[in-house]
Structure 1
Amino acid sequence: MPALLEDPSTRIPPPQAHTNAASTIPPRQTTLPKAENAGVTLYPITKGPGSIPADLSAFLHAEFSAEIERGATYPMEQAMALDQFRDYWFGTFAVVAVLDEEGAAFGDGLREGRKWEDVCLGTFYIKPNYPGRCSHICNAGFMTTNAARGKGVGQVMGETYLEFAPQLGYTYSVFNLVFANNPASIRIWEKLGFNVIGRVPKAARLANSEELVDALIFGRELGN
Protein backbone atom coordinates (compact mmCIF):
# COMPACT_ATOMS: atom_id res chain seq x y z
CA MET A 1 0.00 0.00 0.00
CA PRO A 2 2.81 2.39 -0.77
CA ALA A 3 2.38 5.99 -1.72
CA LEU A 4 4.79 7.80 -4.02
CA LEU A 5 8.51 7.27 -3.77
CA GLU A 6 9.95 10.27 -5.56
CA ASP A 7 13.24 10.43 -7.47
CA PRO A 8 15.82 8.72 -5.21
CA SER A 9 18.58 11.02 -6.43
CA THR A 10 16.99 14.14 -4.93
CA ARG A 11 16.37 15.19 -1.35
CA ILE A 12 14.22 18.14 -0.30
CA PRO A 13 15.47 19.66 2.96
CA PRO A 14 12.87 19.40 5.74
CA PRO A 15 11.47 22.58 7.27
CA GLN A 16 12.96 23.89 10.51
CA ALA A 17 9.97 22.67 12.53
CA HIS A 18 10.70 19.11 11.36
CA THR A 19 14.38 19.42 12.26
CA ASN A 20 13.57 20.80 15.72
CA ALA A 21 10.96 18.18 16.59
CA ALA A 22 12.28 14.96 15.05
CA SER A 23 14.48 13.82 17.94
CA THR A 24 11.74 14.51 20.53
CA ILE A 25 9.19 12.01 19.13
CA PRO A 26 9.12 8.81 21.22
CA PRO A 27 8.31 5.31 19.93
CA ARG A 28 4.62 4.50 19.62
CA GLN A 29 3.38 1.25 21.13
CA THR A 30 0.09 -0.28 19.98
CA THR A 31 -1.53 -3.56 18.98
CA LEU A 32 -2.26 -5.19 15.64
CA PRO A 33 -6.02 -5.32 14.96
CA LYS A 34 -5.86 -8.52 12.89
CA ALA A 35 -3.25 -10.54 14.81
CA GLU A 36 -4.88 -11.39 18.15
CA ASN A 37 -3.88 -7.93 19.40
CA ALA A 38 -0.17 -8.68 19.18
CA GLY A 39 1.98 -5.85 20.51
CA VAL A 40 3.95 -3.75 18.07
CA THR A 41 6.24 -0.76 18.56
CA LEU A 42 6.87 1.83 15.87
CA TYR A 43 10.32 3.38 16.27
CA PRO A 44 11.19 6.80 14.82
CA ILE A 45 14.55 6.84 13.01
CA THR A 46 15.86 10.39 13.26
CA LYS A 47 19.65 10.12 13.07
CA GLY A 48 20.11 8.59 9.65
CA PRO A 49 20.72 5.07 8.37
CA GLY A 50 23.71 4.51 10.62
CA SER A 51 21.43 4.56 13.67
CA ILE A 52 19.70 1.24 12.88
CA PRO A 53 21.26 -2.23 12.81
CA ALA A 54 23.05 -3.09 9.58
CA ASP A 55 21.25 -6.42 9.32
CA LEU A 56 17.89 -4.63 9.57
CA SER A 57 18.89 -2.23 6.78
CA ALA A 58 19.90 -5.18 4.63
CA PHE A 59 16.60 -6.96 5.30
CA LEU A 60 14.48 -3.91 4.44
CA HIS A 61 16.56 -3.29 1.32
CA ALA A 62 15.85 -6.85 0.16
CA GLU A 63 12.12 -6.42 0.85
CA PHE A 64 12.03 -3.12 -1.01
CA SER A 65 13.98 -4.53 -3.96
CA ALA A 66 11.50 -7.41 -4.23
CA GLU A 67 8.60 -4.93 -4.21
CA ILE A 68 10.19 -2.96 -7.04
CA GLU A 69 10.76 -6.14 -9.01
CA ARG A 70 7.08 -7.08 -8.66
CA GLY A 71 6.34 -3.86 -10.51
CA ALA A 72 2.86 -3.14 -9.17
CA THR A 73 3.11 -0.46 -6.48
CA TYR A 74 6.14 1.82 -7.02
CA PRO A 75 7.13 3.87 -10.08
CA MET A 76 10.76 2.67 -10.12
CA GLU A 77 11.80 0.04 -12.63
CA GLN A 78 15.11 -0.95 -11.04
CA ALA A 79 16.03 -1.58 -7.42
CA MET A 80 18.43 0.73 -5.62
CA ALA A 81 21.83 -0.25 -4.32
CA LEU A 82 21.91 -0.81 -0.55
CA ASP A 83 23.68 2.47 0.29
CA GLN A 84 21.32 4.48 -1.91
CA PHE A 85 18.28 2.82 -0.34
CA ARG A 86 19.58 3.46 3.19
CA ASP A 87 20.16 7.14 2.51
CA TYR A 88 16.92 7.55 0.60
CA TRP A 89 14.64 5.84 3.10
CA PHE A 90 16.28 6.81 6.41
CA GLY A 91 18.00 10.07 5.51
CA THR A 92 15.19 12.42 6.59
CA PHE A 93 12.74 10.76 9.03
CA ALA A 94 11.54 7.18 9.02
CA VAL A 95 9.68 4.72 11.23
CA VAL A 96 10.22 0.98 11.61
CA ALA A 97 7.47 -1.28 13.01
CA VAL A 98 8.55 -4.41 14.89
CA LEU A 99 6.76 -6.96 17.01
CA ASP A 100 7.25 -6.62 20.74
CA GLU A 101 9.22 -9.36 22.45
CA GLU A 102 7.82 -10.84 25.64
CA GLY A 103 9.90 -9.82 28.62
CA ALA A 104 12.01 -7.29 26.69
CA ALA A 105 12.37 -3.72 27.92
CA PHE A 106 10.39 -1.05 26.09
CA GLY A 107 12.50 0.56 23.39
CA ASP A 108 14.80 -2.45 22.94
CA GLY A 109 13.18 -3.77 19.77
CA LEU A 110 15.77 -2.53 17.28
CA ARG A 111 18.80 -4.28 18.69
CA GLU A 112 21.19 -6.07 16.35
CA GLY A 113 20.62 -9.74 15.60
CA ARG A 114 16.84 -10.12 15.84
CA LYS A 115 15.19 -12.39 13.28
CA TRP A 116 13.89 -9.51 11.18
CA GLU A 117 12.00 -11.65 8.69
CA ASP A 118 9.74 -12.71 11.58
CA VAL A 119 9.51 -9.55 13.67
CA CYS A 120 9.88 -6.57 11.32
CA LEU A 121 6.44 -5.70 9.97
CA GLY A 122 7.06 -2.60 7.91
CA THR A 123 8.51 0.86 7.58
CA PHE A 124 7.60 4.29 6.30
CA TYR A 125 9.27 7.64 5.85
CA ILE A 126 8.01 11.23 6.15
CA LYS A 127 9.46 13.94 3.89
CA PRO A 128 8.46 17.32 2.50
CA ASN A 129 6.52 16.98 -0.73
CA TYR A 130 7.63 20.38 -2.01
CA PRO A 131 10.65 22.59 -1.27
CA GLY A 132 11.03 25.95 0.41
CA ARG A 133 7.87 27.92 1.12
CA CYS A 134 5.74 24.82 0.51
CA SER A 135 7.79 22.42 2.61
CA HIS A 136 5.13 22.25 5.34
CA ILE A 137 3.28 19.84 3.02
CA CYS A 138 4.60 16.31 3.37
CA ASN A 139 4.36 12.93 1.74
CA ALA A 140 5.24 9.44 2.88
CA GLY A 141 6.33 6.12 1.44
CA PHE A 142 5.11 2.90 3.03
CA MET A 143 6.31 -0.68 2.82
CA THR A 144 4.94 -3.73 4.60
CA THR A 145 6.98 -6.92 4.85
CA ASN A 146 5.96 -10.50 4.19
CA ALA A 147 5.60 -11.08 7.94
CA ALA A 148 2.94 -8.36 8.07
CA ARG A 149 0.50 -9.62 5.47
CA GLY A 150 -3.11 -9.67 6.69
CA LYS A 151 -2.36 -8.30 10.18
CA GLY A 152 -3.55 -4.73 9.78
CA VAL A 153 -0.04 -3.29 9.76
CA GLY A 154 -0.86 -0.86 6.97
CA GLN A 155 -3.60 0.75 9.02
CA VAL A 156 -1.39 0.94 12.11
CA MET A 157 1.40 2.62 10.16
CA GLY A 158 -1.11 5.02 8.61
CA GLU A 159 -2.42 5.96 12.05
CA THR A 160 1.14 6.49 13.27
CA TYR A 161 1.89 8.67 10.27
CA LEU A 162 -1.10 10.87 11.12
CA GLU A 163 0.19 11.16 14.69
CA PHE A 164 3.85 11.84 13.88
CA ALA A 165 3.56 14.15 10.85
CA PRO A 166 1.84 17.03 12.71
CA GLN A 167 4.42 16.73 15.49
CA LEU A 168 7.06 17.38 12.83
CA GLY A 169 5.26 20.60 11.90
CA TYR A 170 3.52 19.45 8.73
CA THR A 171 0.01 20.75 8.14
CA TYR A 172 -1.08 18.84 5.03
CA SER A 173 -0.27 15.48 3.44
CA VAL A 174 -0.19 14.63 -0.26
CA PHE A 175 0.26 11.17 -1.77
CA ASN A 176 1.15 11.80 -5.39
CA LEU A 177 0.79 8.35 -6.96
CA VAL A 178 -1.64 5.87 -5.47
CA PHE A 179 -2.39 3.51 -8.31
CA ALA A 180 -6.08 3.02 -9.04
CA ASN A 181 -5.76 -0.77 -9.20
CA ASN A 182 -4.48 -0.97 -5.61
CA PRO A 183 -7.77 -1.24 -3.66
CA ALA A 184 -6.11 -2.21 -0.37
CA SER A 185 -4.14 1.03 -0.28
CA ILE A 186 -7.15 3.10 -1.34
CA ARG A 187 -9.30 1.59 1.42
CA ILE A 188 -6.74 2.43 4.08
CA TRP A 189 -6.36 6.06 3.05
CA GLU A 190 -10.09 6.62 2.71
CA LYS A 191 -10.65 5.05 6.12
CA LEU A 192 -8.04 7.41 7.59
CA GLY A 193 -9.77 10.48 6.22
CA PHE A 194 -7.90 11.10 2.97
CA ASN A 195 -9.75 12.33 -0.10
CA VAL A 196 -8.93 12.07 -3.79
CA ILE A 197 -7.83 15.57 -4.83
CA GLY A 198 -6.64 14.67 -8.33
CA ARG A 199 -6.24 11.94 -10.91
CA VAL A 200 -3.51 11.35 -13.48
CA PRO A 201 -4.93 9.29 -16.36
CA LYS A 202 -2.84 6.39 -17.66
CA ALA A 203 0.04 7.28 -15.36
CA ALA A 204 1.79 3.95 -14.97
CA ARG A 205 2.94 0.84 -16.81
CA LEU A 206 2.47 -1.79 -14.12
CA ALA A 207 3.30 -5.47 -14.17
CA ASN A 208 -0.16 -6.45 -12.91
CA SER A 209 -2.10 -4.68 -15.67
CA GLU A 210 -2.17 -4.97 -19.45
CA GLU A 211 -3.50 -1.42 -19.66
CA LEU A 212 -1.96 1.82 -18.44
CA VAL A 213 -3.17 2.52 -14.89
CA ASP A 214 -4.49 5.82 -13.54
CA ALA A 215 -2.86 7.34 -10.47
CA LEU A 216 -4.90 8.94 -7.71
CA ILE A 217 -3.62 11.92 -5.73
CA PHE A 218 -4.76 11.76 -2.11
CA GLY A 219 -4.74 14.68 0.30
CA ARG A 220 -5.64 15.35 3.92
CA GLU A 221 -5.22 18.14 6.45
CA LEU A 222 -3.07 17.07 9.39
CA GLY A 223 -3.63 17.60 13.07
CA ASN A 224 -7.42 17.25 13.05
Structure 2
Amino acid sequence: MPAMLEDPSSHTVRPQAHKDAQASGTLTPRHATLPKSNSAPVTLYPITEGPSSVPKDLIKFLHAEFSAEIERGATYPMEQVMGLEQFAEYWFGTFAVVAVLDGEDGATGSDDGLREGREWEKVCLGTFYIKPNYPGRCSHICNAGFLTTTVARGKGVGMTMGETYLEFAPKLGYKYSVFNLVFANNPASIRIWEKLGFNVIGRVPKAARLANSEELVDALIFGRELGN
Protein backbone atom coordinates (compact mmCIF):
# COMPACT_ATOMS: atom_id res chain seq x y z
CA MET A 1 0.00 0.00 0.00
CA PRO A 2 2.61 2.57 -0.97
CA ALA A 3 1.88 6.27 -1.03
CA MET A 4 0.12 7.36 -4.21
CA LEU A 5 2.66 9.99 -5.22
CA GLU A 6 5.71 7.78 -4.81
CA ASP A 7 7.67 6.08 -7.52
CA PRO A 8 10.81 4.70 -5.85
CA SER A 9 12.51 4.27 -9.23
CA SER A 10 12.26 7.96 -10.05
CA HIS A 11 14.43 10.86 -8.91
CA THR A 12 11.53 13.06 -7.88
CA VAL A 13 11.27 14.37 -4.34
CA ARG A 14 9.32 12.00 -2.13
CA PRO A 15 6.60 13.23 0.23
CA GLN A 16 7.91 15.06 3.27
CA ALA A 17 6.49 14.66 6.74
CA HIS A 18 3.37 16.59 7.57
CA LYS A 19 4.18 20.00 9.06
CA ASP A 20 2.94 18.92 12.51
CA ALA A 21 5.14 15.82 12.54
CA GLN A 22 7.65 17.40 14.91
CA ALA A 23 5.49 15.65 17.51
CA SER A 24 7.19 12.43 16.40
CA GLY A 25 10.02 13.25 18.80
CA THR A 26 7.64 12.77 21.72
CA LEU A 27 6.50 9.30 20.69
CA THR A 28 7.69 6.40 22.82
CA PRO A 29 7.79 2.67 22.05
CA ARG A 30 4.42 0.94 22.24
CA HIS A 31 4.13 -2.36 24.07
CA ALA A 32 1.60 -4.99 23.00
CA THR A 33 0.94 -8.71 22.98
CA LEU A 34 0.33 -10.84 19.91
CA PRO A 35 -3.22 -12.20 19.89
CA LYS A 36 -2.35 -15.38 17.97
CA SER A 37 0.96 -16.30 19.61
CA ASN A 38 0.17 -17.10 23.26
CA SER A 39 0.18 -13.39 24.13
CA ALA A 40 3.85 -13.04 23.18
CA PRO A 41 5.13 -9.57 24.19
CA VAL A 42 6.23 -7.25 21.41
CA THR A 43 7.58 -3.70 21.35
CA LEU A 44 6.88 -1.34 18.43
CA TYR A 45 9.67 1.23 18.10
CA PRO A 46 9.04 4.58 16.36
CA ILE A 47 11.83 5.57 13.96
CA THR A 48 11.91 9.37 13.83
CA GLU A 49 15.45 10.24 12.72
CA GLY A 50 15.80 8.47 9.42
CA PRO A 51 17.71 5.37 8.34
CA SER A 52 20.92 6.46 10.09
CA SER A 53 19.19 5.74 13.40
CA VAL A 54 18.36 2.14 12.46
CA PRO A 55 20.88 -0.70 12.91
CA LYS A 56 22.49 -1.47 9.57
CA ASP A 57 21.99 -5.20 9.96
CA LEU A 58 18.29 -4.63 10.64
CA ILE A 59 17.94 -2.55 7.46
CA LYS A 60 19.73 -5.28 5.53
CA PHE A 61 17.33 -7.89 6.92
CA LEU A 62 14.22 -5.83 6.17
CA HIS A 63 15.52 -5.03 2.69
CA ALA A 64 15.76 -8.76 1.99
CA GLU A 65 12.25 -9.34 3.35
CA PHE A 66 10.78 -6.48 1.31
CA SER A 67 12.63 -7.60 -1.82
CA ALA A 68 11.14 -11.09 -1.43
CA GLU A 69 7.68 -9.54 -1.05
CA ILE A 70 8.10 -7.57 -4.28
CA GLU A 71 9.35 -10.66 -6.10
CA ARG A 72 6.26 -12.60 -4.97
CA GLY A 73 4.29 -9.96 -6.89
CA ALA A 74 1.02 -10.11 -4.98
CA THR A 75 0.83 -7.15 -2.58
CA TYR A 76 2.96 -4.22 -3.80
CA PRO A 77 2.81 -2.66 -7.28
CA MET A 78 6.58 -2.52 -7.80
CA GLU A 79 8.11 -4.98 -10.27
CA GLN A 80 11.79 -4.39 -9.53
CA VAL A 81 13.48 -4.64 -6.14
CA MET A 82 15.27 -1.59 -4.75
CA GLY A 83 18.91 -1.27 -3.82
CA LEU A 84 19.74 -1.32 -0.12
CA GLU A 85 20.28 2.44 0.25
CA GLN A 86 17.21 3.25 -1.84
CA PHE A 87 15.07 0.98 0.33
CA ALA A 88 16.45 2.53 3.55
CA GLU A 89 15.48 6.04 2.44
CA TYR A 90 12.15 4.93 0.97
CA TRP A 91 11.05 3.12 4.13
CA PHE A 92 12.66 5.10 6.96
CA GLY A 93 13.08 8.54 5.38
CA THR A 94 9.92 10.07 6.85
CA PHE A 95 8.57 8.06 9.80
CA ALA A 96 8.47 4.34 10.44
CA VAL A 97 7.87 1.73 13.13
CA VAL A 98 9.62 -1.60 13.70
CA ALA A 99 7.95 -4.42 15.66
CA VAL A 100 10.37 -6.56 17.70
CA LEU A 101 9.66 -9.60 19.85
CA ASP A 102 10.61 -9.17 23.51
CA GLY A 103 12.37 -11.74 25.64
CA GLU A 104 14.70 -13.10 22.97
CA ASP A 105 18.52 -12.86 23.12
CA GLY A 106 18.35 -10.75 26.29
CA ALA A 107 16.13 -7.90 25.09
CA THR A 108 13.23 -6.82 27.31
CA GLY A 109 11.48 -4.11 25.32
CA SER A 110 13.82 -1.33 26.41
CA ASP A 111 15.79 0.92 24.08
CA ASP A 112 18.38 -1.82 23.50
CA GLY A 113 15.77 -3.71 21.51
CA LEU A 114 17.07 -1.98 18.37
CA ARG A 115 20.75 -2.67 18.94
CA GLU A 116 23.13 -4.02 16.33
CA GLY A 117 23.81 -7.74 16.25
CA ARG A 118 20.42 -9.16 17.17
CA GLU A 119 19.05 -12.24 15.42
CA TRP A 120 16.59 -10.22 13.37
CA GLU A 121 15.28 -13.20 11.45
CA LYS A 122 13.93 -14.50 14.79
CA VAL A 123 12.86 -11.33 16.61
CA CYS A 124 11.86 -8.76 13.98
CA LEU A 125 8.15 -9.28 13.30
CA GLY A 126 7.36 -6.45 10.93
CA THR A 127 7.54 -2.78 10.07
CA PHE A 128 5.46 0.01 8.60
CA TYR A 129 5.96 3.60 7.46
CA ILE A 130 3.66 6.63 7.60
CA LYS A 131 3.83 9.38 4.97
CA PRO A 132 1.59 12.06 3.52
CA ASN A 133 -0.58 10.71 0.73
CA TYR A 134 -0.74 14.14 -0.94
CA PRO A 135 1.48 17.25 -0.80
CA GLY A 136 0.98 20.73 0.60
CA ARG A 137 -2.56 21.68 1.58
CA CYS A 138 -3.59 18.03 1.60
CA SER A 139 -0.61 16.70 3.54
CA HIS A 140 -2.73 16.03 6.63
CA ILE A 141 -4.01 12.93 4.80
CA CYS A 142 -1.60 10.04 5.29
CA ASN A 143 -0.81 6.67 3.85
CA ALA A 144 1.14 3.70 5.19
CA GLY A 145 2.98 0.68 3.89
CA PHE A 146 3.15 -2.54 5.94
CA LEU A 147 5.47 -5.54 5.90
CA THR A 148 5.12 -8.64 8.08
CA THR A 149 8.30 -10.73 8.18
CA THR A 150 8.42 -14.39 7.25
CA VAL A 151 8.73 -15.66 10.84
CA ALA A 152 5.72 -13.62 11.97
CA ARG A 153 3.08 -14.75 9.48
CA GLY A 154 -0.17 -15.87 11.08
CA LYS A 155 0.60 -14.49 14.55
CA GLY A 156 -1.56 -11.38 14.50
CA VAL A 157 1.29 -8.99 13.78
CA GLY A 158 -0.66 -7.21 11.05
CA MET A 159 -3.48 -6.33 13.45
CA THR A 160 -1.01 -5.19 16.12
CA MET A 161 0.79 -2.92 13.64
CA GLY A 162 -2.56 -1.60 12.39
CA GLU A 163 -3.58 -0.66 15.93
CA THR A 164 -0.23 1.06 16.44
CA TYR A 165 -0.69 2.97 13.19
CA LEU A 166 -4.05 4.29 14.41
CA GLU A 167 -2.40 5.40 17.66
CA PHE A 168 0.67 7.08 16.14
CA ALA A 169 -0.75 8.68 12.97
CA PRO A 170 -2.99 11.27 14.70
CA LYS A 171 -0.15 12.13 17.07
CA LEU A 172 1.87 13.02 13.99
CA GLY A 173 -0.78 15.53 12.98
CA TYR A 174 -2.64 13.44 10.41
CA LYS A 175 -6.42 13.74 10.23
CA TYR A 176 -7.40 11.07 7.71
CA SER A 177 -5.89 7.87 6.34
CA VAL A 178 -6.08 6.53 2.79
CA PHE A 179 -4.82 3.19 1.52
CA ASN A 180 -4.66 3.48 -2.25
CA LEU A 181 -4.01 -0.07 -3.38
CA VAL A 182 -5.53 -2.85 -1.30
CA PHE A 183 -5.85 -5.59 -3.87
CA ALA A 184 -9.25 -7.28 -3.93
CA ASN A 185 -7.71 -10.78 -3.81
CA ASN A 186 -5.94 -10.06 -0.48
CA PRO A 187 -8.62 -11.06 2.05
CA ALA A 188 -6.26 -11.04 5.05
CA SER A 189 -5.43 -7.36 4.55
CA ILE A 190 -9.07 -6.47 3.86
CA ARG A 191 -10.20 -8.16 7.09
CA ILE A 192 -7.68 -6.19 9.15
CA TRP A 193 -8.71 -2.80 7.81
CA GLU A 194 -12.40 -3.55 8.12
CA LYS A 195 -11.92 -4.64 11.75
CA LEU A 196 -10.03 -1.41 12.42
CA GLY A 197 -12.88 0.74 11.17
CA PHE A 198 -11.80 1.47 7.59
CA ASN A 199 -14.37 1.66 4.81
CA VAL A 200 -14.04 1.18 1.06
CA ILE A 201 -14.21 4.69 -0.41
CA GLY A 202 -13.30 3.76 -3.97
CA ARG A 203 -12.40 1.01 -6.39
CA VAL A 204 -10.01 0.94 -9.34
CA PRO A 205 -11.10 -1.78 -11.78
CA LYS A 206 -8.39 -4.06 -13.18
CA ALA A 207 -5.67 -2.06 -11.45
CA ALA A 208 -2.94 -4.66 -11.12
CA ARG A 209 -1.13 -7.45 -12.93
CA LEU A 210 -0.37 -9.76 -10.00
CA ALA A 211 1.60 -12.97 -9.91
CA ASN A 212 -1.15 -14.79 -8.02
CA SER A 213 -3.91 -14.07 -10.54
CA GLU A 214 -4.38 -14.83 -14.22
CA GLU A 215 -6.81 -11.92 -14.48
CA LEU A 216 -6.25 -8.25 -13.76
CA VAL A 217 -7.14 -7.51 -10.13
CA ASP A 218 -9.21 -4.61 -8.82
CA ALA A 219 -7.73 -2.31 -6.17
CA LEU A 220 -9.84 -1.15 -3.25
CA ILE A 221 -9.27 2.29 -1.74
CA PHE A 222 -9.79 2.27 2.02
CA GLY A 223 -10.28 5.38 4.13
CA ARG A 224 -10.83 6.29 7.76
CA GLU A 225 -10.91 9.43 9.88
CA LEU A 226 -8.12 9.43 12.45
CA GLY A 227 -8.28 10.26 16.12
CA ASN A 228 -11.68 8.72 16.87
Tell me what 2:151 maps to: 147
Tell me what 2:134 maps to: 130
Checking the alignment, whether the CA contact within 8 Å between 2:17 and 2:95 is kept in structure 1 is: no
Tell me what 2:17 maps to: 14
RMSD, aligned CA? 1.0
Shift of 1:181: 0.2
Shift of 1:107: 2.3
Instruction: State the SS of the aligned residue for 2:90.
Output: helix
Checking the alignment, whether the CA contact within 8 Å between 1:68 and 1:76 is kept in structure 2 is: yes
The whole-number CA distance in structure 2 between the counterparts of 1:132 and 1:218 is 21
Shift of 1:104: 3.6
The whole-number CA distance in structure 2 between the counterparts of 1:186 and 1:35 is 21
The reply to whether residue 167 of structure 1 matches residue 165 of structure 2 is: no
The reply to whether residue 158 of structure 1 matches residue 162 of structure 2 is: yes
Query: Matched residues, percent identical?
Result: 79
Instruction: State the SS of the aligned residue for 1:84.
Output: helix
Correspondences of 1:1-224 after superposition (within 5 Å): 3-5=1-3, 6-8=6-8, 9=10, 10-18=13-21, 20-101=22-103, 104-105=107-108, 106-224=110-228
The whole-number CA distance in structure 2 between the counterparts of 1:17 and 1:70 is 36
Shift of 1:101: 2.0
Q: How many residues align?
A: 221
Extract unaligned runs of 5+ from structure 1.
Answer: none
Show CA shifts across 1:6-49 (max 9, x none): 3124411222201x111110000110000000000000001110
TM-score (norm 1): 0.96
Checking the alignment, whether the CA contact within 8 Å between 2:128 and 2:161 is kept in structure 1 is: yes
Show CA shifts across 1:120-170 (max 9, x none): 000000000000000000000000001111100000000000000000000
Show CA shifts across 1:91-140 (max 9, x none): 00000000012664522211110000000000000000000000000000
Instruction: State the SS of the aligned residue for 2:158.
Output: helix
Instruction: State the SS of the aligned residue for 1:109.
Output: helix
Checking the alignment, whether the CA contact within 8 Å between 1:4 and 1:178 is kept in structure 2 is: no
Shift of 1:4: 2.7
Shift of 1:74: 0.3
The whole-number CA distance in structure 2 between the counterparts of 1:116 and 1:99 is 9
Aligned partner of 1:186: which letter?
I
Checking the alignment, whether the CA contact within 8 Å between 2:141 and 2:178 is kept in structure 1 is: yes
The whole-number CA distance in structure 1 between the counterparts of 2:37 and 2:111 is 21
Q: Which stretches of structure 1, 4 residues or more, deviate above 6 A after TM superposition?
A: none
Instruction: State the SS of the aligned residue for 1:16.
Output: coil
The whole-number CA distance in structure 2 between the counterparts of 1:23 and 1:70 is 35
Checking the alignment, whether the CA contact within 8 Å between 1:27 and 1:43 is kept in structure 2 is: yes
Checking the alignment, whether the CA contact within 8 Å between 1:176 and 1:216 is kept in structure 2 is: yes
